[in-house]
Structure 1
């Protein structure tokens, strides 16, 4: 990885990626990076769908949950059209359905709910204790330097998110990853984002899809790629609990409660450095053995 592939330049590119073009009638147009995976990254289409939904809602209402399904693999060379349906605007909540299209076919759809701020009960589970801080664990670049043949597309494209695994990654060689019942990763947007709460929520949604399915493999000490598995996101849900900035460090504490029938379920909690629980994500993915 190079300096040009990360930092503020990559963050500015992410902001542009999430800045959809309005087409009128609650429809928006999104693009994909010029260089990237063969399929549109799931976090990208989910983040863009949330941008589209949020732009049709009163800014005083903040997204508190989203539920999305990945229907078809997206083509990164083709623009994505997002159509938003206003399901309801109530006194306290707004609900939207955001659908992503390519070639006149649905590739992803999402329901998202937005809520005005209210006073209420306040409690949370404690953040995991004794987790090394971000500066105490290797960067992704340092980890991949040991496995250049496993870097793949990671080292070829802009990386707007600083990702630091506390344990081993899913991109090591087969046999180099110990089985662990939890996966913990520090993340942050690797630069400064504008002060727009919707943009921070969309950036967090983008980041939430990067490592979550790793928790399924971690349970078995399994890896991605040759000698391991290939995977794809099937559905994705998030709940946003407390205010946050996606350009400040958060710990993504993930585990996998079940895997069966080539599908794996993973759940992750996100905590700020001072221990506030800001969001929860749950995802099911398809995981097939390479060559199987």
Structure 2
């Protein structure tokens, strides 16, 4: 490299000379003069402008072209022409509405709003104001601890507790305040968040509380503060009454368990009933007899023939079997066997009466004896279905007991009986009618012997002969022996009376109450059939003088002897005081062999001749 191409370094600047004292003094004087001029200009401007009513300086006093070092050098802001109309506001005249807005001072708030606000402030002040102290010391409330009149009126108004603040500080274990959480956790009180739970903390009358703002967050719900002594008193009362609450809880649980048990039972019964309804139940028609005299029943729906009742139709040879019932419940009984006589429409009425009496007797104290009964036959009973007897106690006195027995078959009531029991009073006077003069039982023949003789007589058709033999065979198997004392007797007053000797076959010495049940059984034998004989209606014939129908409507018995023995012969007299309109009433008397009147019977029944009544006129409704 040559000397021509070598770069040339510029010469170093000369160092400035230090300022002389005279220069420094001149600089300081210039600075002080400029500052003095600026201060004078500001004082002149401030002296020419005053403060407004809001103690603010008008904006216009500050010139836009200020030489102050704090003034922006960019110049004043210019209005944008795109903003349209421009409103100028004087901020010095604006007032804060305390609602997030600035309003002009000349537009005051609504006077009604301000008046209401002032009224609310006065009310709050009045509520917080403590009551005046009376000049009479006895009229001023006093602290329950120190007897001073300077009490805390908040405790008095909220908790109804008279205590002063010093006593509150001295006894915090009694007069301190508890939060709701402390009451729930320490004293096991309930808040009542569930509707079905009884709330103690929500009951203002039970446990009053003071509401205060939540210290943790202002948006949270107010605190509920309770007085400690009141909470502890309530908790101790709850503990003292724990036994009562426990007993109440036990009763409630017991009631709930019983309701649950009933619900289960009804559910089971409903299921059983649905299954039962789904099963086919035979609905038998009326019992029919064939040429052999045997009884059969046929189901109306499926045509099933019930042959199981054939053996049941034969009357039992023992009276105890015919009267036997099965006990299902305390007042509920069921028949074990039923007997339907030859050519009858239903079960023998005397058997239904006696079984109902056995059911009623089993529900009565043996010290009471049966003295009367009255029953109604509502409809005929079928021998194919057992009869259920329900005994209802109507009245129980010191001397008499009244019962009602209802007989139900296939869901329908077929029979009802009212009976009364009495404590015997043998010391009372007595009276009776005399016994008719009749041959002794040993001199009379059995009823089946009469039937056999009649069947062998002349001019007897094969049909009637067969029927008489059926009756004779039935009487032979019957547990009741019957002898005809007299064919018939015309009394002095001209009435016709029939008399029969009756007794139960081969029975032991039963108790008096069962003897009366046997007596009720035999009291229905031949009773209503005598009415047809008195009316002159023939049983096995045809025509207007033949018997078309006979059935019992009601039956009544009055017992007057507790020593009756149905194993011995009893004389049964029967007469018909009145018969008309297809009905007849029968009156009977039952005597012992010795002449004692032991029972009086009455019966009303339907007795119809084979006569057709006039045809009913059909009324045709007239057209308007």
Same fold (TM over 0.5): yes
- Quote the Cα distance in structure 2 between the aligned partners of 1:198 and 1:19: 14
- Quote the Cα distance in structure 2 between the aligned partners of 1:267 and 1:45: 20
2:397 maps to 1:90? yes
- Quote the Cα distance in structure 2 between the aligned partners of 1:269 and 1:27: 32
- TM-score between the two structures when normalised by the length of structure 2: 0.42
Give 1 or 2: higher helix fraction.
2
- Quote the Cα distance in structure 1 between the aligned partners of 2:611 and 2:351: 28
Which residue of 497, 506, 510 maps to 1:182? 497
**What CA deviation, in whole Å up to 9, does each residue of 1:15-50 have, x standing for no partner?**
022121001030000033467445100001011111
- Quote the Cα distance in structure 1 between the aligned partners of 2:348 and 2:381: 8
Q: CA 1:35/1:110 → structure 2, altered by over 3 Å: closer, same or farther?
A: closer
Which residue of 532, 538, 553 maps to 1:217? 532
Secondary structure of 2:380's aligned partner: coil
Match of 2:471 in 1: 154
- Quote the Cα distance in structure 1 between the aligned partners of 2:505 and 2:611: 36
Unaligned 5+ segments in structure 1 are 1-8, 170-178
2:443 maps to 1:126? no
Q: CA 1:233/1:153 → structure 2, altered by over 3 Å: closer, same or farther?
A: farther
Match of 1:143 in 2: 450
Match of 1:232 in 2: 551
Q: CA 1:21/1:201 → structure 2, altered by over 3 Å: closer, same or farther?
A: same
Give 1 or 2: higher strand fraction.
1
Secondary structure of 1:217's aligned partner: helix
1:263 CA displacement: 0.4
Larger Rg belongs to: 2
**Residues 261-276 of structure 1 mapped to structure 2, 5 A cutoff:** 261-276=581-596
2:510 maps to 1:195? yes
Q: CA 1:152/1:53 → structure 2, altered by over 3 Å: closer, same or farther?
A: farther
Match of 1:68 in 2: 375
- TM-score between the two structures when normalised by the length of structure 1: 0.87
**Residues 406 and 413, structure 2, Cα contact 8 Å, conserved in 1:** yes
**What CA deviation, in whole Å up to 9, does each residue of 1:108-155 have, x standing for no partner?**
1000001111121111111112x1111222211111103342426534
**Residues 217 and 223, structure 1, Cα contact 8 Å, conserved in 2:** yes
How many pairs are equivalent?
A: 273
RCO greater where, 1 or 2, for CA within 8 Å and sep 6 or more? 1
1:270 CA displacement: 0.5
Bigger mean CA offset, 49-58 vs 215-224: 215-224
**Residues 340 and 347, structure 2, Cα contact 8 Å, conserved in 1:** no
Q: CA 1:94/1:35 → structure 2, altered by over 3 Å: closer, same or farther?
A: closer
- Quote the Cα distance in structure 1 between the aligned partners of 2:447 and 2:528: 17
Unaligned 5+ segments in structure 2 are 1-314, 456-464, 489-493, 613-624
1:226 CA displacement: 3.0
